[in-house]
Amino acid sequence: MSASASRPSLRRSALHAAFATAATLVAAAALPASAQQPGSERHSRAERAPQLSLSATAYRDVAQNRVTVTLYAERESPQPAAGQAQVSELLGPVLERLKSHGDLQVQGSGYRTDPLWQQSRIVGWRTRGSIQVSAQPSPAFNRLIGELAAQLNIESVAYWLSREAQLAVERELIAEAVAAFRTKADTAAKALGFNGYSMRNVAIDAAGPIRPEHAPKVMMSRAAAGAAPVPLPAAEGRTTVTVTVSASVALGR
C-alpha cells in the first residue's frame, strides 16, 4: 500500500478516537448531580433547611466569699510635709500588723495632699493616705477591723466573689445550660412540625460580677469607735453567676 493510500486510513482512526472521547464526556455530563457530588448535594440541602436561633441560660446565686475594707488616715497641717509625716506615722504600724497575717491581701492606696483655701488664699494642707485589706469574711476579720478602727477611719466595705470561685461555678453551669438549650431546641422543633435539628454556630458566654459590689458606705472614725473596739458588722451578701448557650439550629424532617 502506498503512503498516499494509508493517510485516509490514519485520519479515519483519529476521528473514531475523537468521537469516542467526546461521547464519554457527554455521558459523564449527563449524570445526575447527586451521582457526581453526593456530599455537595447533602451540604446544599442542609443550607436550605429552616434556621432557628435559640439561647438558654443557667444561673446560680452564690455567697460572696471576699471582703475588701478601705482604711484611711487624714491630717491637716500648715505645710504638706508635716501632714504627710503624720499620716505615715499612723499608717505604718497598721500596715505592719496587717502584713503579719498571711491570709490577708494588703495594699497601699497612696497619698493625696490638697490645699485648704480661705478667702482665696491657701491657709493649710490636708493629707490623706489609705490602705486596702482583703480577706475571706469571718468573725476574726471583723474583730481585727474593729480594733484597727481605733487607730484609723473606715471609709468603705465591699463584698465580692473571687475569680476562682466564679470560674468553679461557671464550670458547673455549662452542663446545665447545654441541657436547657437541648430541651428548648427539641421542644421548638417539634412545635414547628420538625422531627429534629442540627446545631450551627454555637457560643457559650459566662457573666458574673465584674467589680466588687459595694455595701453602703461605712464611716467609722476613731472618735466614734471610742475606747472599746467595735467589730465590723457582718453584711456579706450573694451574687449571681450565669452561663448562656446560644446557637442557630437547622430544622429537619
**Closest Cα partner for 235 from 165, 148, 137?**
137
Whether 79 and 182 map to the same domain: the answer is: no
pLDDT for the residue numbered 219: 47
Distance of CA 155 to the CA centre of its chain: 29
* C-alpha cell, 155: 471609709
pLDDT for the residue numbered 95: 92
Whether 228 and 138 map to the same domain: the answer is: yes
Whether 57 and 9 map to the same domain: the answer is: no
Whether 28 and 135 map to the same domain: the answer is: no
Whether 150 and 73 map to the same domain: the answer is: yes
Whether 101 and 141 map to the same domain: the answer is: yes
**Closest Cα partner for 236 from 133, 137, 135?**
137
Cα separation values, 227 from 72, 139, 151, 152, Å: 19, 20, 10, 13
Q: How many domains does the chain have?
A: 3
Measured distance CA(20)–CA(72) in Å, rounded: 97
pLDDT for the residue numbered 40: 57
Radius of gyration of the chain (CA): 39
Whether 18 and 112 map to the same domain: the answer is: no
Containing structural domain, residue 193: 51-61+166-208+244-252
List of residues 6+ apart from 174 with CB closer than 8 A? 58, 204, 243, 245
Whether 57 and 172 map to the same domain: the answer is: yes
Report the CATH number that the domain containing residue 127 is assigned in CATH: 3.30.70.2970
Q: What is residue 235's three-state secondary structure? A: coil
Cα torsion angle, 219, 221, 225, 231, sign:
positive
Report the interhelical angle of 80-99 vs 139-148 (nearest 10°). 160
pTM of the model: 0.68
Whether 221 and 204 map to the same domain: the answer is: no
Measured distance CA(211)–CA(159) in Å, rounded: 10
List of residues 6+ apart from 63 with CB closer than 8 A? 236, 237, 238
Whether 15 and 118 map to the same domain: the answer is: no
Measured distance CA(66)–CA(27) in Å, rounded: 76
Whether 188 and 227 map to the same domain: the answer is: no
Burial of 226 per CB tally in 10 Å (0-12, 13-18, 19+): exposed
Whether 220 and 132 map to the same domain: the answer is: yes
Tell me the average confidence (pLDDT) per consecutive run of 10 residues in the chain, 253 residues long. Answer: 48 45 38 48 62 94 94 95 94 93 90 93 95 94 93 92 94 96 94 90 83 48 52 79 94 85
